[in-house]
Amino acid sequence: MCQYKGTDREYECEFASQYESEEFFPLLLPALKAVAPMAIKAVGSLIGGGRKKRQREFEFEYEGEYEGDPFIGNLLKGLGSSFGLGESEYEYEYEYEATPMSEYEIVMENLAYRAAHTESEAEAEAFLGALASMATRLIPSAAKAITSVAPSLVRGVARIGSALHKNPTTRQLLQTAPTILKGTVQTLANQVEEGKPLSSTTALRALAGNVANVLDNPQKVQAAMKKSHQAQHQAKALTNGQRRRVPA
111-131 pLDDT, tens per residue? 999 999 999 999 999 999 999
Report if residue 176 sits inside a domain: yes
Question: Residue 121 domain-assigned?
Answer: yes
Question: What are the φ and ψ backbone dihedral angles of 11, each rounded to 5 degrees?
Answer: -90, 125
Is position 172 within any domain?
yes
Biggest distance spanned by C-alpha atoms of the chain: 67
Q: How confident is the model at residue 225 (pLDDT cuts 50, 70, 90)?
A: confident
Domain of 167, in residue numbers = 31-242
Domain-located, residue 6: no
Q: Report H helices in the chain.
A: 16-20, 25-44, 50-57, 70-75, 87-93, 103-117, 121-135, 143-147, 150-165, 168-171, 177-193, 200-215, 218-245
pTM for the predicted model, two decimal places: 0.74
pLDDT bin (cut points 50, 70, 90) of residue 189 is: very high
CA–CA separation, 112 and 116 (whole Å): 6
Instruction: Give the chain's domain count.
Output: 1
- 16 in any annotated domain: no
User: Is residue 22 domain-resident?
Assistant: no
Residue 13 lies in a domain: no
Q: b/e map of 194-220 (b: 16 or more CB within 10 Å)?
A: eeeebebbbbbbbbbbbbbbbbbeeeb
**Residue 211 pLDDT level (bands cut at 50, 70, 90):** very high
